[in-house]
Amino acid sequence: MWLWMLAGCWNIGQDLTTETTTAESLALEAARQLASTSAEQLQTQMVQELGNPGPPNAILEGSSESEALNPHSGLPSPGNGRIGHSSLRPRDPANRAPDWVQPWLDAHRDAEFSDVQGTEQIVEGPGGSVARVLLPIPMLDTCVRCHGSEAQIPADVRTRLEARYPDDQATGFAVGDLMGALWVELPVEG
């Protein structure tokens, strides 16, 4: 799991104002599990890449929602749902937050990770009810190599980042900052 998840640092504040049905509860549990599994697999990938010499492969392969969080990367498929990560300061401008995630990001723009909670909710969409789960993403020591201050990012990594992401905003974070959110949407079945 992400180190912050292992430490029990992530909290989910429920936005649910009514009791959920069994189908809604099952969809929320599946969304929680998918978010947790995805976070664990992303953390494992990053730790492995950071052990390799040179810039992490994530720079070479891309890190947008469509590239980094898809079945082809070995992460769980959300089936009929969607999964992604959105940042307060995106590396790739194409990686925009969904309409429901952006207000959460905006509300927590200056927050420390320790001061925020994720959220889960059931909403009515055009195709029926949807379970949504959002987990905050913290800046950890292991993230500094690609997301820290200019002085903390090695020259070879900086060169690759500048070449791949000329409009990169995903640097300058300090350990303990809130970087963004991992989010999942799953349809409520039945």
Measure the CA angle with vertex 77, ends 183 and 109; round to 5°.
Answer: 15
Mean pLDDT (whole number) for 30-58: 76
Domain boundaries, the chain: 21-187
- Beta bridge partner(s), residue 125: 128
Exposure string for 61-84, b = 16+ CB within 10 A, e = fewer? ebbbbeebbeeeeebbebeebebb
**What is the DSSP secondary structure assignment for residue 158, as one 8-state letter?**
H
Of all residues in the chain, the percent with pLDDT exceeding 70 is 74
**Model-level pTM greater than 0.85?**
no
Per-residue confidence (pLDDT) for residue 1, from 0 to 100: 31
Per-residue confidence (pLDDT) for residue 73, from 0 to 100: 43
> How do residues 81-137 score in pLDDT, each as one tens digit?
888 888 989 888 877 899 999 999 999 998 899 999 999 999 998 889 999 999 999
Average pLDDT, the chain: 79
Residue 26 or 17, more confident: 26
Task: Assign 58 a pLDDT band (cuts: 50, 70, 90).
Answer: low
Task: Assign 41 a pLDDT band (cuts: 50, 70, 90).
Answer: confident
Q: Are 84 and 77 in contact (CB under 8 A)?
A: no
Mean pLDDT (whole number) for 48-63: 59
pLDDT at residue 80 above 50? yes
